[in-house]
Amino acid sequence: MTKLLDDLSHMEGAAWKCIRMAHFFDLVSAHPSDDRFWIFVQNALGESACLLWCHLFGSRSDPLHYTKLVAHAEVEALGTRFSPAAVKGRLLAHAGLNDATFDALWEQVKRCRDKYIAHRQPDAEVEFPQLDRCVLVAEAFRDLLADVVDALRKQQPRDGELLSLHRFYREQTNATLKRSCEREFLAGLKSASTWAQAGVDAAHGAA
């Protein structure tokens, strides 16, 4: 059980960060600015979201790949709804994808990672994948993790770590995660405006 919970925690961390990076990417993209700083921030967020998504859904050899979760004997024992086929079907359905469209999305993310992010090929242009689709797949995976925790908790209701994880997923839903990103982005804009005004005031004072 310890290995399973460790893997689950690491996968949750990657999914949580991936979703947050993609939400911030959308918020920065919608922020009307040609400032080079914001362009840099936007690219950094998009790159991070792609890298994290690839950990979870890219190569099956990656220790964080979602198939590693359902390969645990404790998860297999929970029933067919956690079988590899059922889990993949669930992830795709939530994102409105089928096998072909998921493969196309996977190719987009992998191409962005391999050509631009990881290897910086000289002729590579920034072409981010459909991050909104990536978010939906990652959100479905977080919901799956929550269901695994809930099923295990029912078997072991006194397990403190499972109880803690159960509370975490009840409080940190995908909707809550999106709202927190929006609040934090607005707070960041306010702070940036305050810093900019302080810089202007300091310059005027020095003059």
Per-residue pLDDT tens for 100-129?
999 999 999 998 888 888 766 566 566 788
Residue 202 in domain:
no
Residue 206 in domain:
no
What is the token pair recorded at 143? 């919901």
- Alpha carbon 76 to chain centroid distance? 25
Residue 165 in domain:
yes
Residue 68 in domain:
yes
What does each C-alpha distance from 152 to 22, 117, 160, 163, 168 come to in angstroms? 30, 38, 12, 10, 15
Number of domains in the chain: 1
Residue 207 in domain:
no
Please report, to the nearest 10 degrees, the dihedral formed by the alpha carbons of residues 103, 108, 110, 111 taken in order: 130
3-class state of residue 72 by DSSP = coil
Structure-token match 């994808």, residue found: 97
Per-residue pLDDT tens for 46-104?
999 999 999 999 999 999 999 999 999 999 999 999 999 999 999 999 999 999 999 99
| CB proximity list for 162: less than 8 A, separation 6 or greater | 5, 149, 152, 153, 156
Segments forming the whole domain that contains residue 22: 2-196
Contact 70, 87 (CB under 8 A): yes
